[in-house]
Structures are given as structure tokens and as C-alpha cells.
Chains A and B, each alone.
Chain A
Amino acid sequence: MSWYTAHILTIITFLPLLGAVVIAFLGRERTASIRWVALLLSLLTFLISVCLYWRFDPQRAGMQFSEFVPWMIIPPVNYHLGVDGLSSLMVLLTAFLTPLCVLLSWNSITSRSKEFFMFLLVLETGSLGVFVSLDLLLFFGFWEVMLIPMYFLIGIWGHERRVYAAIKFVLFTMVGSSLMLVGIIFLYNLTGSFDFPRVLDHLAGLSVMSPQAERWLFLAFFIAFAIKVPLFPFHTWLPDAHVEAPSAGSVILAGVLLKMGTYGMLRFCLPLFPGASREFAPVVCVLAIVGIIYGALVAMVQPDLKKLVAYSSVAHMGFCVLGIFVFQPEAMEGAIYQIFSHGVSTGALFMLVGMLYERRHTRLISEFGGLATSVPVYSTFFLIVTLSSLGLPLLNGFVGEFLIIVGSFHAQAAYAAFAAAGVVLAAVYLLWMYQRVFYGEITNDKNRALPDCDFREKLILAVVVIVIIAMGVYPQPFLRRMDGTVNSLILRIERHSTVITDRRELGVGNRKLGVEAGYPIPHSQSPTPTPPQPTAHCLLPASSPGGGR
């Protein structure tokens, strides 16, 4: 294996940081070179991550491109990186959005652009680090460190209430993550390791953790991620952060940072605590559905375009969480697909709103009307992105939502019914918004002479729209790469409930005996999965894994 392939994850993760260091040495007044360095480095990162995704072997379950370097002795933190079907997609998404954000901020950031691009690149390194770390403490480190550049992006270049929004964002996240840190240390004391695969191995022995402890640990991790997603009762920081952030900040926030929540659930909550995940699944699903409906209803009445998009994020992320917690292979794949496609479409919506704001310095829907005649190119792009966000077939949003609804129908028809209602509501608020902003007569004279998209903006939007259409028409390359990961996850959860069932049938009270009787939990996909038995313990009727599409 060449040096390049062996260290591809390190290269991807730290290239942006290298860019930030280079920018640090450039003079404050050399704005042009600062922008170009930022653009080139983030583009290079994107190209390498495309290579990574291309080379990713869909046939193999488990981690690929692993890197392992021993680091600290106490705590035994190791520099352990690796990607599977889930994280490689997240890496691709992050690397895709950052160069677009650099382009988006090309002219709009006028003050202190040096710091802006530095923070943007540091943020990219932090986010990539979160997705590729396989060491719990390393993961936590990236997770926390990433808050600092985001804090500054909102706090320095945001709008009027930026300081309040920035600190609210940081404090919300930190409350969650400090609980997670307790959970991580507890797990470490239990298993003696921070290495994620090793912790997973340890926990496979059922005797390690009492159900009580598992429940608390699940909650410690889950709340941290739920705040990030954000799941319904924890969402209040999101509208503030989104509205106050500069456009690029909103794009990264919606496109990358929210994804860390769902990523964390898939990566840590489900495989580490399969029992507790099953136990809490009904509650989580209901919260997700409440989020879908609530987000849609609140979005409908927003007078501010950006707030509308922010609340639509709450609804869309509700779909992702629902897809994860119904434990159906197709729903889970749909959720992962939706995570990616939400990043692209909502990111694009924020870009579009940002472009409009640059022209008019307002985002109030009532200020607009009839824009389709004054800025036709812009309106067309906006329409395509809106349609993708509301889930029109042949565009990216449809694939994920469809899979999620199909999957949740298998699990619980009521979930599917409510989620489908959410899709309808999405159409209502998005189309109504589009109609008010773009159709009809031009009522406000300021809107008559608006300049249409320039080359830079067309470039950004064209790239996004191509991706939107490609993902809608031909999702297979993406879905194929998740198969292994999703199946082994589902299997792990279902196996867990099988073990408990068998143990109960045998009348074995002691958890230890269950392990000795030979029911280890598989870490990778086994060729013939045993169909799980529905029990009172697992509240969801389970279908055989892999039988989805």
C-alpha cells in the first residue's frame, strides 16, 4: 500500500488545517491570495475525498483505510482513524460543501477575511476529524474543538444578535457533550479502552453492562447527539444560530454540524447500546415525528426566509432520526441518504437566501414578490432546490424520504402515516413561500432592478443542482456503499434482542450464562442471519434484515 493510500484520511483531515496555517502567515491585506489558498486547499480536500469514496470497497463491511498510531499511555488514546459506508459519505459531504462556502463568501465577507477563511478551514478539519475518528476520546476532542471556529463564525460575521446566538449554540452543545464525556469515561472504566472497535468487542459480552447502566449511558450519548440534530425538545438553539450566522456558517451548520448528531446516533448509540436503543426507540420515534410536524407547522408561519429554512431543517432531520430508530434496513439507508441530501439541498437553500440577502439586506418574505421576472436565473435555481427539498421524485430529497417512509411502514404504519403528512406539509410551506417570493406582480420597487446571478453564483448553484439531479436519478452508487454498514448495524441490534429472547426462553436468569451458551453478538455481517423473535422486550416487530429493497 502506498504512503498516500495508507494516510489518505490524515491527509484529508489535515489539509484544510494546513491551509489555515498558510493563511495565518499571509498578510491581512492580501485578501485575494487568502481566498485562493482557501479555495484551492478545500478543493484539493474535496478531490481526495472523492478518490476516497471511489476507492471505498462496498463489498467489505467494517472499517476501511484505517490508520492506527499509539499516542497517549494514560488515557490510552490512540490516533485511530477509519471510515465505513456511513462516515465516508459524511467526509464527502463536508469536503463538498466547504469549497462552495469559500466561493459563497468570496465577496460577501468584507471585514477580517483572513480570520474568516482560517476559521472556515479549521472548522472543516474539526468536522472531518469527528467523522473519521475511531477513538472515543479523539472523537470527543474534535467534537469540542470544532465549536470554537463555529463560535467565531457566528459571533464575528453574524447579524445583530450574533453574540447571543453564538454562545447559546456553544452552551447547548457543551451541556450535551459533557454528559457524553461522563459516558465515555464510564465506558472506559468498564472496558479499559477508548478504541471504538475494542469497546464494541468488550460490550459484546453481555455481562459487562447492567441494563440499568446501559440505559443511562445511552441517554448520556443520545442527548448529546439529539441536541446537535436537533431533535424536537432540544431544537431551540437552531433557529437563533441559523438566523444570526453568515451564509457560509449556516450552510456548514445545516450541512455538516447537524449531521454529526445523526452520525453519532448511528455510529455510537446503536452499536454500543443496542438494548437501550430498542427500549427507547418508540419514544425517539415519537419525538422525531413531533419534530417533523412541528417543524413544518412553525416553518409555515415564519415571516423570515432564513428562519423558514431553519425550521424546515428541524422537520427534515426528524425524518433522519425516524429512519434510524425504526431499525429497518431500507429506512436506515434512507436516513443516511437523507442526511446527505439534506446537507446538499438545505445547504443550497441557505446559499440562495444568502445571495438574496446580499442584494436586498432583508430576508422578510413580505418584502419580496414577483422576483421570477426580475431575476429569472436565480428563480429557476431556487425552484429546483425547493423542489428537491420538498421531495419531488427524480430529485435527491425523494429517495431518502421514500425509503424512510417505506421502512417505517414495515415497523409501524402509524409512523409512516404521520411522516407522510410531514411530506405534504413540507410541500405546503415551501411552495407557498416560493409563490409569495417569486410569483405575482412586483410589488416592491426595490426588487425591479435586482442583478441576476453572476458567474460565481451560477457556478456554485449549477454544481449543487447537478448533484441534486444526479442523486435523485441514480442513487445506487451511494446506496451500494452503505449496504454493508447498515446491514451489520441492523443485525447487531436484532441479534441483541434474539439473545435476550433465547435467554428468557431458557429461563436463564444470569446474564453471564447467555454468553457462555454461545450467543456472541456479531461485529460484522454473518452470512445467514437468524430471524429474530418478536418479544415483549423488543417493542418493534422485526423483519428479516436485508429483505428491504
Chain B
Amino acid sequence: MITLQSLDMMRILPEIVLSVFAVFIMVLEPFVGDAHKKLLGWTALLGVLVAGVSITQLSSRPWPGMGSAFGGAVAADEFSSYFILLFLFVSALVILGSMDYLERDHEQHGEFYALVLLGTVGMCFMAASTDLIMIFLGLEISSIATYVLAGYRRGDRLSNEASLKYFLLGSFATAFFLYGIAFVYGLTGTTNLLGASARLGTAAEWTAFARFALILMFVGLAFKLSTAPFQIWAPDVYQGAPAPVTAFLSVGPKAAAFAVLLRVFLGSFSSASAFTFWVLWISAALTMCVGNLGALWQSNVKRLLAYSSIAHAGYVLVGVTAGGSRGISAVMYYLVAYALMNVGAFILIAYLAGAGERLVQVDDYKGLASTRPVVAACLAVLLLSLAGFPATAGFLGKFYLFRAAIHSHLIGLTILALLNSVVSVFYYFKIIVAMYIQEGKTETSEAAVPWPVRAALAICVAGVFYLGLAPNTFVGLSTLATMPLLK
């Protein structure tokens, strides 16, 4: 059935480019001297750029880039292009943010970049697949890469713990997902989303087994989304993993899992929406509350932002619960906004932490505004955006989510979400208070900001304002990207 045509290959060109570059970097690694290891980082960045160019070139024309490939296993459509571009963007930022970090901590090795690229390949497949088995493969590729990345600081016990915890719980969760796929296959005889949804039929025809399969798949995804009650791992892993990896973890796999959630739950299996609605509703409400209340007590910045990213997954779930074209486009818009602010914040944390990641307590940020006014201002902008203040991406992102929710008459959930975001102001301001109000010992890393970090930060901060003040382009794109799901 599968014929390897050149057309099929073309439709997964970004993934191919990334994989080739990943392999190339690993081959190159032994030939590059220790002094020039940074070169590998630039190579990885080049790979991301080439992949980005290839996808924009292919998707700008209706033929031949777009369409289904490999017998309906993968679809190159507006939806997947949007997400792939998001993943490429995130990995580019992470590579920019980690080059000097690795140099500083003497951990500069080629595998790091290769793993980031391979993780991105997995996420791209998650977003592009229209077959459950392909989705599972994508999930596994990205998971394994990120398990290794989480434990990248080999000498650090916390990093080892993070890796092991992530691996054990993660494989457990993917097993759930696989089990759900097996149920769907058993019920319908196919793993193809189109075929399966056709055989599962209308809402009335959904059996208890089918619902159970859906729940199992949701649990598998919920782990990646870090939604309550499957969020327990997130704070430990985010704290233990190297900060640039945390930036990657907190955005990439999460966005990819949301892509799957949108495609499977709101796209293909939308006939079960009456049932999934409550699953999503409850998990959105729980996730927001757990994330925000948990963050209130944290004194470690990485851990605080870990809880905050749990809370953000909850906000996004509000949009998923709302559904419809408004809900889906709101989710897609929010994920871009979230990527900008969260990756930016973690890259800054990685820089401020200093060698060996010593300075990651809120107290370490005391007096930062007087010693490093620009760095403090950047972090303040990113935090205010996370808190959802107007004129930033975070505000408009939340606005779209809540607009969709109110449109679907989810008033209660919206009020809960808004009250949660008031709570979140409290802990984001904790960092701002430390930076601006408290006088500090100011033992921050004295090194000047390396310019790749500067570039990444400039992109994040400018992007936060761009999305917050001139959203027209991205709203258009995200609306366009919902088309394939609503056909």
C-alpha cells in the first residue's frame, strides 16, 4: 500500500531536513576540536533554518507541498505547517539560548543539538500525523530525545533524578496512549484517524469501549500536557533539567501534545464531543487551580515557572474545551504567545543562574534592577505577559481563549480562569518585587550577556509586544490553520 513516491517525501521534507542535520552533527562531532564545538550549534541552527525555509516554500503553493502522504499516515496541511513552524521557532530559540550555557558549564557536545533536532522531528510528526501509530511514533521520538536532554547535566544529581523520573513516568503514560490506540484498532480495524472516526460513527454510536479508548489516549497526552492530576512530574523535571532544556520541555512537547489533542479530539473524534467536553472541562479547571496554587509557595524560580506552565496548560485547555474554530484558533495563537514568553523567561533564567546553575532562587534576583536594568526589564516584560497584562501577547492570548469560552457559554470556567490569573499575578510579582523593590546581595553572574542570548531575548520580547499590539497577521494564520480540522 505504501509507495515511496517523491511526492510523499516532499510532504515530510522539514522532518527529513532536520533528521539529516541531526545525523550530520553527530558524524561531525568527533572531527570538531573542543574549542570549536559551538560550530555544531550553528550547524543545528542552520538545519532549523533550512527546514523552516523548506516548509514555507512548500506550503506557499497548493501543489505539491500540501496534501496527504504515505497512504494517509501523514498530512501536510495548514494545521501541521503552523505547528511545525512553531516547533522550529522554539528549537531555534533554544539552540540560541543553550550555546553559551553549555560552553559555560563545560558540557558542549554535539549530541545536545542532535537531540534537540530529533526531538523537534518527533514533535513535527505528532502535529502532522493522521494515523494513530504515526502519532505514537512521533510521541516516542520526541520523548526519548527529551528524556536524554533532561539528564544532560550528568554530574548533577537533580538532573539525573529529573531524567529518570521523566523517563519512568513518561513511558508509563505513553503505554496508556498505546493501549488506547489498541482499543481503537480493535473496535474499528484501522489506526487511520479518518477511517477510525468513520467507523466509530455518530455520537449515539459511541460505545463504552470507544469512550474508554478515548480516555486512555487522553491520559497519555495529559502527561505530556502536564495537566492535573498528571502533572506531578513537571516541577521536579523542570527544576532538575538544564534551564535551556526546560525551556524546550515546557513548550515543545506540550504544544505537540496540544496539536494531537486538537486533531484527534476536536478534529477526528469530534462526534464524541458531548463526552469529551466534561473530561476537558474538569481537567482544565483542575489544572489551572493546581498550577496556580502550587506556584504560590515556590521559592525556586525554575520550580515556580514549572507550576506556572502547568497553569498555562490549564488556560489552553479552556480554549480546547470551548472548541469550534474560535477555540482552536485561540489555542494556536496562545501557544505561540506562550512559546515566546516561556522560552524567553527560561533562557534568561539559564543566563542568570551562572555556572552550575547556582542562582535559581527568587532571593538571588534581589536588586537585579539596579545592577542589570535591561535584563531585569526584559524578565519583567516576559513575566507581565505571562500574568496577562494588556499590550502583551499574554493578554490577547488569554483574551482569545476566554472569548471562545464565553461564546460557548462557559462563563463559570472563564471566571475561574480569570480569578486564577489574578492569583498568578501574585507569584509573578514575587520575582518582580525581588528584582525591583528588594535591595540585594546582587551576586549575579557578572558575565556580559552573550549575543546569541541577546538575539533570542530580543526576538522574545519584541514578539511579545508584536503579538500583543498587532495581532492581525497571526490571528489570520491561526484561523487559516484551523481549516483542516473543521472540514
**Other-chain residue from A75, A151, A186 in contact with B399 (beta carbon distance below 8 A):** A75
Contact with B along A176-194 (1 / 0, CB 8 A): 0011011001101100000
Does A72 reach chain B (CB closer than 8 Å)? Answer: yes
Task: Note all chain A residues with C-beta closer than 8 A to B370.
Answer: 112
Q: How far is the CB of A205 from chain B (nearest CB, A)?
A: 21
Does A73 reach chain B (CB closer than 8 Å)? Answer: yes
Does B175 reach chain A (CB closer than 8 Å)? Answer: no
Task: Note all chain B residues with C-beta closer than 8 A to A167.
Answer: 426, 429, 433
Task: Note all chain B residues with C-beta closer than 8 A to A186.
Answer: 406, 411
Does B50 reach chain A (CB closer than 8 Å)? Answer: no
A189-B403 in contact (CB<8A): yes
Does A417 reach chain B (CB closer than 8 Å)? Answer: no
Q: Would you list 10 pairs from A and B whose C-beta atoms are within 8 A, ordered by A residue?
A: A75-B400, A141-B395, A145-B390, A148-B384, A148-B389, A167-B426, A175-B419, A178-B422, A185-B399, A185-B414
State the CA gap A123–B356 with chains docked (Å).
40
B391-A145 in contact (CB<8A): yes
B415-A156 in contact (CB<8A): no
Does A196 reach chain B (CB closer than 8 Å)? Answer: no
Does A152 reach chain B (CB closer than 8 Å)? Answer: yes
Task: Note all chain B residues with C-beta closer than 8 A to A74.
Answer: 400, 471-472, 475, 479
Does A144 reach chain B (CB closer than 8 Å)? Answer: yes
Given A112-B370, A145-B389: A174 touches B425 (CB 8 Å cut-off):
yes
Contact with B along A422-434 (1 / 0, CB 8 A): 0000000000000
B391-A179 in contact (CB<8A): no
State the CA gap A189–B433 with chains docked (Å).
37
Given A73-B475, A182-B411: A156 touches B436 (CB 8 Å cut-off):
yes
Does B194 reach chain A (CB closer than 8 Å)? Answer: no
A170-B425 in contact (CB<8A): yes
Contact with B along A82-111 (1 / 0, CB 8 A): 000000000000000000000000000000
State the CA gap A182–B414 with chains docked (Å).
7
Does B407 reach chain A (CB closer than 8 Å)? Answer: yes
Task: Note all chain A residues with C-beta closer than 8 A to B415.
Answer: 178-179, 182
Task: Note all chain A residues with C-beta closer than 8 A to B414.
Answer: 182, 185
B471-A182 in contact (CB<8A): no
Contact with B along A134-166 (1 / 0, CB 8 A): 000100111011001001100110000011000
Smallest Cβ-Cβ distance to B437: which chain A residue: A155
State the CA gap A536–B460 with chains docked (Å).
59
CB contacts under 8 Å to A, within B375-398, are: 384, 389-391, 395-396
Task: Note all chain A residues with C-beta closer than 8 A to B411.
Answer: 182, 186
Task: Note all chain A residues with C-beta closer than 8 A to B384.
Answer: 148
Contact with A along B276-291 (1 / 0, CB 8 A): 0000000000000000
Task: Note all chain A residues with C-beta closer than 8 A to B437.
Answer: 152, 155-156, 162-163
Task: Note all chain B residues with C-beta closer than 8 A to A151.
Answer: 429
Does B402 reach chain A (CB closer than 8 Å)? Answer: yes
Does A301 reach chain B (CB closer than 8 Å)? Answer: no
B389-A155 in contact (CB<8A): no
For the residues of B in contact with A, the DSSP-based class is helix
Smallest Cβ-Cβ distance to A158: which chain B residue: B437
Number of interface residues of B (CB under 8 A): 33
A178-B421 in contact (CB<8A): yes
Given A72-B471, A167-B426, A185-B403: A179 touches B418 (CB 8 Å cut-off):
yes
B433-A171 in contact (CB<8A): no
A171-B402 in contact (CB<8A): no
Q: How far is the CB of A466 from chain B (nearest CB, A)?
A: 37
State the CA gap A144–B418 with chains docked (Å).
14
A141-B390 in contact (CB<8A): yes
CB contacts under 8 Å to B, within A455-471, are: none
Task: Note all chain B residues with C-beta closer than 8 A to A72.
Answer: 470-472, 475
A144-B433 in contact (CB<8A): no
State the CA gap A282–B370 with chains docked (Å).
52
State the CA gap A155–B435 with chains docked (Å).
12
Task: Note all chain A residues with C-beta closer than 8 A to B402.
Answer: 181-182, 185
State the CA gap A347–B335 with chains docked (Å).
45
A163-B475 in contact (CB<8A): no
State the CA gap A193–B436 with chains docked (Å).
39
A170-B406 in contact (CB<8A): no
A75-B403 in contact (CB<8A): yes
B391-A141 in contact (CB<8A): yes
Among B370, B418, B475, B476, max chain A CB count under 10 A is at: B418
13 further A-B pairs in the complex, CB-CB below 8 A; given A72-B470, A74-B471, A155-B437: A72-B471, A74-B475, A141-B395, A145-B390, A148-B389, A152-B437, A171-B426, A174-B425, A181-B402, A182-B415, A185-B399, A186-B411, A189-B406
B429-A181 in contact (CB<8A): no
State the CA gap A303–B373 with chains docked (Å).
40
State the CA gap A182–B420 with chains docked (Å).
13
B475-A175 in contact (CB<8A): no
Task: Note all chain B residues with C-beta closer than 8 A to A178.
Answer: 415, 418-419, 421-422
CB contacts under 8 Å to A, within B214-234, are: none
State the CA gap A178–B414 with chains docked (Å).
10
Given A75-B403, A171-B426: A140 touches B390 (CB 8 Å cut-off):
yes
Task: Note all chain B residues with C-beta closer than 8 A to A174.
Answer: 422, 425
Given A141-B390, A148-B384, A167-B426: A181 touches B407 (CB 8 Å cut-off):
no
B390-A144 in contact (CB<8A): yes
Task: Note all chain A residues with C-beta closer than 8 A to B475.
Answer: 72-74
Task: Note all chain A residues with C-beta closer than 8 A to B396.
Answer: 75
Q: How far is the CB of A147 from chain B (nearest CB, A)?
A: 8
State the CA gap A182–B436 with chains docked (Å).
31
Smallest Cβ-Cβ distance to B472: which chain A residue: A73
Smallest Cβ-Cβ distance to B430: which chain A residue: A167
A182-B406 in contact (CB<8A): yes
Task: Note all chain A residues with C-beta closer than 8 A to B422.
Answer: 171, 174-175, 178
Q: How far is the CB of B425 from chain A (nearest CB, A)?
A: 6
Q: How far is the CB of A187 from chain B (nearest CB, A)?
A: 10
State the CA gap A410–B421 with chains docked (Å).
44
Smallest Cβ-Cβ distance to A114: which chain B residue: B373
Task: Note all chain A residues with C-beta closer than 8 A to B369.
Answer: 115
State the CA gap A141–B400 with chains docked (Å).
15
Task: Note all chain A residues with C-beta closer than 8 A to B433.
Answer: 155, 163, 167
A155-B426 in contact (CB<8A): no
State the CA gap A151–B429 with chains docked (Å).
10
Given A73-B472, A171-B425, A175-B422: A152 touches B399 (CB 8 Å cut-off):
no
Task: Note all chain B residues with C-beta closer than 8 A to A112.
Answer: 370
State the CA gap A171–B424 with chains docked (Å).
10
Q: How far is the CB of A182 from chain B (nearest CB, A)?
A: 6
| 8 closest residue pairs by CB, A with B | A141-B390, A178-B418, A174-B422, A155-B437, A74-B475, A144-B390, A185-B406, A73-B472
B389-A144 in contact (CB<8A): yes
Task: Note all chain B residues with C-beta closer than 8 A to A142.
Answer: 390
Task: Note all chain B residues with C-beta closer than 8 A to A163.
Answer: 433, 437
Task: Note all chain A residues with C-beta closer than 8 A to B407.
Answer: 189
Q: How far is the CB of B288 from chain A (nearest CB, A)?
A: 13
State the CA gap A186–B425 with chains docked (Å).
23
State the CA gap A171–B422 with chains docked (Å).
7
Q: How far is the CB of A161 from chain B (nearest CB, A)?
A: 12
State the CA gap A74–B400 with chains docked (Å).
9
Q: How far is the CB of B17 from chain A (nearest CB, A)?
A: 33
Q: How far is the CB of A434 from chain B (nearest CB, A)?
A: 35
Contact with B along A47-88 (1 / 0, CB 8 A): 000000000000000000000000011110000000000000
CB contacts under 8 Å to A, within B453-487, are: 470-472, 475-476, 479
Smallest Cβ-Cβ distance to B406: which chain A residue: A185
State the CA gap A136–B370 with chains docked (Å).
37
Task: Note all chain A residues with C-beta closer than 8 A to B390.
Answer: 140-142, 144-145
State the CA gap A151–B479 with chains docked (Å).
37
Q: How far is the CB of B311 from chain A (nearest CB, A)?
A: 15
State the CA gap A151–B436 with chains docked (Å).
11
Q: How far is the CB of B378 from chain A (nearest CB, A)?
A: 14
Given A73-B475, A182-B415: A188 touches B426 (CB 8 Å cut-off):
no
State the CA gap A171–B429 with chains docked (Å).
11
Task: Note all chain B residues with C-beta closer than 8 A to A171.
Answer: 422, 425-426
